């Protein structure tokens, strides 16, 4: 499992960063850029004050991606496309993107709690993402998948539901998120 504080370590990737930023955009609470960019880039808040450093250069790049995702989801949600890696077989590998999304969720996990409750009818909004995530011990976050061809096919194609799930999550949280921002 990759935590937010480890996201930009040697195991990081652009898909992880993209998933993380998508969760910030679509999530339940508005956050100060310092509160999510610093853990993402593993930098101190002071990096915002020192131009000319690699850390400072990364900040606007991340902010631009945030704005791109936000703008796409606001104006053309059907065009939202997560940055997924490809496996050597050319199949889509959604795991890094989903792990990045989950790392951002962990920043404010209590705010995400209603959708983490399997009894909530809207819990399914997170399933296309969380089924690709692993816990701190490397186990599937949602438990071991059922064996069989149907499960294998479902897992191979579940990434196709992620763009719609992200937009649905954004719509789900919007009334709550902006009510809290007042």
Q: What is the pLDDT of residues 23-51, one digit of tens each?
A: 999 999 999 999 999 999 988 888 888 88
Q: What is the pLDDT of residue 83?
A: 94
144-179 pLDDT, tens digit per residue, is 888 888 877 777 788 999 999 999 999 999 998 877
**The whole model's pTM is what?**
0.88
Average pLDDT of the residues in 103-129: 94
pLDDT confidence tier of residue 127, bands split at 50, 70 and 90:
very high
Residue 5 has pLDDT above 50, yes or no: no
- pLDDT above 60 (res 182): no
In this prediction, residues 120-130 reach a mean pLDDT of 93
Nearest 5 degrees, angle CA 165-CA 171-CA 172?
85
142 or 125, which is more confident:
125
Q: What is the CA radius of gyration of the chain?
A: 16
What is the tens place of the pLDDT at every residue in 56-96?
888 999 999 999 999 999 999 999 999 999 889 988 899 99
pLDDT number for residue 180: 57
| Lookup: tokens for 112 | 């995400």
End-to-end CA distance of the chain: 34
Residues 69 and 81: their CA atoms lie apart, in Å, by 9
116 contacts 102 by C-beta, under 8 angstroms:
no
What is the predicted pLDDT for the residue at 7? 46
What's the mean pLDDT when you consider all of the chain?
88
SS3 46: helix
Res 4 pLDDT > 80: no
The full set of domains in the chain, from first to last, is 4-181 (1.20.120)
């Amino acid at each position: 499992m990759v935590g937010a504080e480890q996201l930009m370590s040697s195991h990081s990737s652009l898909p992880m960063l993209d998933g993380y930023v998508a969760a910030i955009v679509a999530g339940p609470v508005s956050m100060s850029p310092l509160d999510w960019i610093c853990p993402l880039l593993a930098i101190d808040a002071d990096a915002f004050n020192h131009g000319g450093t690699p850390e400072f250069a990364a900040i606007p790049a991340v902010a631009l991606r945030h704005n791109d995702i936000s703008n796409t989801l606001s104006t053309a949600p059907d065009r939202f496309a997560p940055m997924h890696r490809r496996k050597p077989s050319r199949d889509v590998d959604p795991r890094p993107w989903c792990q990045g999304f989950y790392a951002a969720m962990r920043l404010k996990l209590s705010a995400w709690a209603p959708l983490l409750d399997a009894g909530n009818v809207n819990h399914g909004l997170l399933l296309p993402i969380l089924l690709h995530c692993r816990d701190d011990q490397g186990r599937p976050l949602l438990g071991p998948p059922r064996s069989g061809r149907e499960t294998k096919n479902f897992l191979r194609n579940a990434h196709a539901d992620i763009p719609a799930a992200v937009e649905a999550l954004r719509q789900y949280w919007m009334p709550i998120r902006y009510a809290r921002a007042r």
